[in-house]
Each structure stands twice: as structure tokens, then as C-alpha cells.
Structure 1
């Protein structure tokens, strides 16, 4: 699946993005998928994921959420946090890429994927920090986003005012949460809080715990990548999109 490198104009600047188009588009309105990156930026591992989703028939957009910081990286998912300076840089970029900025950016991302041909329903999926960004987007654009998934997403139900669990009452689509078996960024109390918020908002949802998987298990260049767990994640994700975006 050929990748196109594009630029998306947002309210705050220009974001680079990777775009993948399906070889055999389905009949009717073309569905799209926006993939929200983890903390290590755009790179081949995410391109592989985008190509796989495009192979399933979706227009796929993977935007650079850290575009406001100019050139950074490349970041190695296996080693980036072992260097204190690099770790501090990543944590700063994550902290300053707020939910409000993500909400505004997602409007531009939806416009870009629509121009690329995704005129039908949209699904969003995020990994690590991208998990919360996917939920925020689904809450901000409920009339367009029909499915949202988070895998090893962190701080989905924290005590902060902009925590994703506080926004779920606006979501109209289906939600899937895949959590790592033991994850300090999404402990059991947050999982329970998110599940209760989704239930109270009457959002169709599943919160599933991947026992034995570590934070980052679904992305191939992470040191904790688990092939069997990753394939299980693909089964859940493609089923969600097939049921909600057709």
C-alpha cells in the first residue's frame, strides 16, 4: 500500500501526516480511519499499521500530533525513555499537546481525510497517548466519528479537568478500550471510572483487559511488543470498524 506524505493546515500551523488509500475501495461512501500516534511520532511501525488498515478498505490518515514542536527525533520506541534528556523532551511534548489542541486539530484532520476521499463514516484509533486523543475526537465530532478505539491508552480517566472520561457523554459511536494487563498509566481504578462513565452515558462500549500484555504491546517496534497480543488487537479493531463503518 503506497504511502503519501501530506501536510494539513490547522489553526496552529501545518501538521505532517501519512496518508494511505485502499487499492479496492468498497462500493458506496468511502469510510476512513484516523490513527492517533503514540509518544514516539510518525515512523515505519505506524506506516505498517496504516497500510494494513488501508488493505482492509479504509482511507487512513496518521497525523503528527507533535507538529507544533518543529523537527524532533527520530525517536526509537525501544530506547527513547532510557535517555533522560530525550525522555524529558517527549514528556514535555505530550503534556503540551493538550486535549483542547487535539480537539481543534481533529477538525482539520477530518477535513483532510474527507478531501482524500473518505466521505463516509470515520473510525479513530489511538495508542498510548493517542488513546485519549481518539476518545476526545469522538466526543468532539460525534456526527462523523462512528467508532473509537484505544489500545494501552494512558490517563483515560484521571483527575484532570480535561480527562477523556469526562467527555464521553457526547460520543454517539461505539467505543472499544484495550488495556494492558498491568499499566501504571491506566490503573484499575481508572478503568472502572471510565467504564462507569461510558455506562452512565449509555455509550455502546467494551473495556477489555489484555492479561500478560505490557504497555505498548500492540506496536511492533516497542520492546514489549507481543505478536499474539497484537494479532488479538487487530481482530478486535478490524471487527469494530467493519461493524460500525460500513
Structure 2
């Protein structure tokens, strides 16, 4: 299964993006938001996985303003990705993602609703986007900016702080409970803020670290990845059904 390059129109020019179609050629839409490594091999695989489930998947290149599609794998990849994150304009990324979500929903191939799935950088970004729009669902994997967005910590990025209930769509959150980036006490704060809400489903994974779903990253946790994806596919089938 291959993707098709498609432009996403923004007030500042066209943002490159990639579209995966399911075998049926149409279905509900999913805006897939990248990690800090860009549209990597891993993100492409998750796009194929979602298209294989019957979704029309759009993956924008959120570092396009920095001239970067992806960070190439290698010993310097993490350092390079973190440097890009520091340079990225968060509010511009939110606006770009809102444009991508709107244009995905307007595509003729999309029927039956539109959702957001995000990982790490994209997991937090997806929450901000969902707070400013009306997706049908949100799936967030270890959203790295969520503590900032929810006002649980002193923001170290220019995010807009929102109330936990600002996202009214059903949402699914996955976090590693041994996360060395989002420490366990911070993850517990996020859980305490979100889990009481009726529309929220929260799963923690006892031994999993950050980015545990990425098989190309040294913190990959195969069991947490398997279980979380199993839960994600079942949850999507319930809240954003295909057909």
C-alpha cells in the first residue's frame, strides 16, 4: 500500500502531506500527526495500518516550515529531532493541523466522520487541535505537551492552556507509567485531570517508557505496543466505525 502526495492549503503556502486510501477507496478520515522525528518509517507504517482497517489517512509534514520531512535514522536522530522541536512554531502547527483536518473532511473519499490520531508531539498537538475543532474522535499516544496544555506544569512552550473538558469528542489516551520524559507523577496528574471525564478512556502501561509504540526507537516496548494498538483498533471500531 502506497501513499499519494497531496498539498494542504494554508495561508502561508501549501504544506506537504501524504494520503493513504483503504482498499474500498473511501471511509472515515483520520488525521495522523507525527512524532518529533517527522513522517518517519514508523509513522508511515501506522498510516498503512489505519488504512488497512478501512480509514482514509492524511499525514501532514508538520515540520514543513523548517524544510524537514523526516529525521533520518542514526545516532544523531534524537538530538536532531529535539532541536527541530525547539525551532517549531507550536501555534502554527496547530493552525496547519486544523487546515489539514478541515480539508481531509472535505475530501470525496471521506465518509462517516473524521478523527485524529497522534503520537508524542502529535499526541499533544492532537489534543490542542481537537479543542479548537469538532473531530469525531481523538487517539493520543503519550502526548508530550499535554501537561503544558492542561496547565499542570509551568509551560515551556507557547501552548494555549485549555480545560480538560475542552475536547468534547470521545478520546483515548495511552501513557507509559515508566516514562522518563513525562515522569510518573506528571502522568498521574494527566490521568487525574482526564480520566474522570465521561468521554475519556485512559490506559497506562506499567513497564513502558516514552515512545513505546515506535519499533525503531530504543524505548520500544513490544508488549505495550501490541496491547495499546489492539485497544486502539477496537476503540476506533466502536467510536469511528468503518462501513
How much does 1:52 deviate? 0.9
Residue number in structure 2 paired with 1:14? 14
Give the structure-1-normalised TM-score.
0.84
* Separation in 2, partners of 1:155, 1:96: 15
- C-alpha distance 98-132 of structure 1, shift in aligned 2 (>3 A): farther
1:154 aligns with 2:148: no
Deviation at 1:72, TM superposition (A): 6.0
C-alpha separation in 2, matches of 1:51 and 1:72: 18
Q: Alpha-carbon deviation of 1:51?
A: 0.8
Q: Could you tell me whether the CA contact under 8 Å between 2:176 and 2:209 is conserved in 1?
A: yes
1:111-126 counterparts in 2 under 5 A?
A: 111-114=102-105, 115=107, 117-126=109-118
SS state at 2:85 partner: helix
Q: Distance in 2 between matches of 1:234 and 1:199?
A: 19
Cα distance in structure 1, aligned partners of 2:161 and 2:195: 11
Which consecutive unaligned segments of at least 5 residues does structure 2 have?
149-153
Residue equivalent to 1:107: 98
Q: Distance in 2 between matches of 1:167 and 1:75?
A: 36
SS of the equivalent of 1:166 reads coil
Residue 140 of structure 1, CA deviation: 1.1
1:53-105: CA deviation from partner (whole Å, max 9, x where unpaired) = 00101000111110001146542176512xxxxx2x43343134344223211
Partner residue in 1 for 2:24: 24
Give CA deviations for 1:98-134 in whole Å, capped at 9, x if unaligned: 4422321122111332325224322211111111011
Q: Distance in 1 between matches of 2:172 and 2:88?
A: 23
Residue 93 of structure 1 is matched in structure 2 by: 84
**Other-structure match for 2:228:** 233
| Stretch moving more, 71-80 or 45-54 | 71-80
Of residues 104-113 and 127-136 in structure 1, the stretch that sits farther from structure 2 once superposed is 104-113
Q: Which runs of 5+ in 1 are unaligned?
A: 82-86
1:127 matched to 2:119? The reply is yes
CA distance in 2: counterparts of 1:187 and 1:234, whole angstroms? 22
CA 1:216–1:77: 2 relative to 1, 3 Å: farther
Structure 1 residue 11: Cα displacement: 2.4
Distance 1:204 1:76, change over 3 A: same
Give the one of 50, 53, 66 matched to 1:69: 66
The CA deviation at 1:198 is 2.7
Q: Say whether the 8 Å CA contact 2:71–2:81 is kept in structure 1.
A: no
Q: 1:193 to 1:127 in 2, by over 3 A?
A: same
What TM-score results when the alignment is normalised by the length of structure 2? 0.85
CA contact (8 A) 1:78 1:223 kept: no
- Is the Cα contact below 8 Å between 2:140 and 2:173 reproduced in 1? yes
